[in-house]
Structure 1
């Protein structure tokens, strides 16, 4: 059974009038977390689309860059998106349930935030409402300002491309410690590590750009130190 078939089955099984947010209570166990991760990205993307008031073709394309959706499964993914947009539950309720579902797996929540940043920036603009939305989601997830700044520095054109922020270190950190942080981020970005923490194989493409950014930041810092 594909992940998309499982998602479609879960949506079909919702009781009449039950909101999509209720699904997150059913997906706490590890075998279901890849399904939960996918639904979380779809649902929060839908809520984020409401933040800036529109859904662009670029945002739809960006989602397909993160997740490969077979043509036969596109109606199911669209239904999840539409349910989230229509659900009376606000995005903060979604974020709280998702945060509780993944518990202390902050690395998985960072993976999820990365997908949201990718989609938010896909149309070439970063709306202030999107920034406020993502910052609030990160806060509810329990992600500290340094983690959020690291993501923002990688994705937002207006943000200063600070290599230290991307690696999550201070400029006065000794080079050996910076190298250690860089290597740790590289290990976290390995596809096998991402799948082990609940990121579905369909979304491991997220690691490609991350590794480019991480390695570029380390190269810049090490070159300045030479």
Structure 2
């Protein structure tokens, strides 16, 4: 079986949970014919993934490819970008190797990402909220190693076009704003969530957010053998921590 056949047959969809609400998982499926994609990620790969896999598999493949190619478009991929991808699209340990291989192949070049944005936009044209969440996640990956570059902005604008998102959806994704009805809790003090005074410096806020994310990440707790109910609680906590961080970023225009 080819590597691409294994990816299409093995990577499945997304379910509610995590900071974005997207979890890359695994499920049984029909593998693509051996060598159908030649083992390379070419311009026809998105079309073939769309034809040979389910919508959920197309989602999983597309977010991996878009994340990798976005990380590549401003130069060499750095560890912070990979870590951000793993945080936003949580991957079970048993699937990490296959997803990592796809990510590595995709990051060889920043080119040929457009078909994946277009196919994902077509497949989920009836779920703009999910597409907006994916765009917001890509913004977070782009910013993790510094301010947005012109190349990253062009990349994200093309993704927006492929997703068919409007200007206000772009602005919310760019600025880290919650979607209407997305469950933001306006009465929650974001500084209290992070354990900081309101006059904390930008660096102190950022450091506190990173520390809390490390301590509460569900995958970290699961690897330690923590009971499932505590892992679920950690998932909710991570969402709360990220919401607090996003509100502070908006207020401070970080």
Shared fold (TM-score, shorter chain, > 0.5): yes
> Aligned equivalents of 1:35 and 1:102: distance in 2?
12
Q: Which runs of 5+ in 1 are unaligned?
A: 155-165, 169-180, 188-200, 221-226
More contact order relative to length (CA 8 Å, sep ≥ 6): 1
Instruction: Report the CA distance shift for 1:133/1:7 in structure 2 as closer, same or farther (over 3 A).
Output: farther
1:48 matched to 2:70? The reply is yes
Report the CA distance shift for 1:23/1:122 in structure 2 as closer, same or farther (over 3 A). Answer: same
**Is 2:11–2:60's contact at 8 Å kept on the other side of the alignment?**
no
Alignment correspondent of 1:185: 182
Pair 1:106-2:103 in alignment = no
Q: Kindly indicate whether residue 118 of structure 2 is the aligned counterpart of residue 129 of structure 1.
A: no
d(CA) in 2 for partners of 1:95, 1:2:
18
Q: Distance in 2 between matches of 1:126 and 1:8?
A: 38
In structure 2, relative to structure 1, the CA distance for the partners of 1:12 and 1:26 (3 Å cut) is closer
Tell me the residue number matched to 1:193: none
Cα distance in 1 between the residues matched to 2:140 and 2:107 = 19
Look up the match of 2:51.
25
Taking structure 2 as the reference length, what is the TM-score of the superposition?
Answer: 0.55
Partner residue of 1:163? none
**Residue 68 of structure 1: how far off its partner (Å):** 2.9
What's the C-alpha RMSD, in Å, of the aligned pairs? 3.6
Q: Which residue is equivalent to 2:98?
A: 76
The answer to whether structure 1 residue 15 and structure 2 residue 36 are counterparts is yes
Change (3 A) 1:44 1:86: same
Task: List per-residue Cα deviations over 1:135-173 (Å, max 9, x = no partner).
Answer: 12102211111110111122xxxxxxxxxxx367xxxxx
Equivalent residues in 2 for 1:1-226, closer than 5 Å: 3=12, 4-6=25-27, 15-17=36-38, 19=42, 20-21=45-46, 22-27=48-53, 32-86=54-108, 90-154=112-176, 166=177, 181=180, 184-186=181-183, 208=240, 211-212=243-244, 216=247
Counterpart Cα distance in 2 of 1:144 and 1:117: 16
Whether the 8 Å CA contact 2:68–2:103 is kept in 1: the answer is: yes
Residue 191 of structure 2 corresponds to which residue in structure 1?
A: none
Q: Report which stretch shifted further, 11-20 or 91-100.
A: 11-20
* Structure 2 gap segments, 5+ residues each: 1-9, 13-24, 185-231
Between the two proteins, the alignment pairs up a number of residues equal to 173
Q: State the alpha-carbon separation in 2 of the partners of residues 92 and 16 from structure 1.
A: 17
Cα distance 1:208–1:13, how it changes in 2: closer, same or farther (>3 A)? farther
**Secondary structure in 2 aligned to 1:103?**
coil
CA distance in 2: counterparts of 1:131 and 1:72, whole angstroms: 34
Distance 2:34 2:69 in 1: 22
Deviation per CA, 1:103-150: give whole Å up to 9, x if none. 232111112112211211222332221112111210221111111011
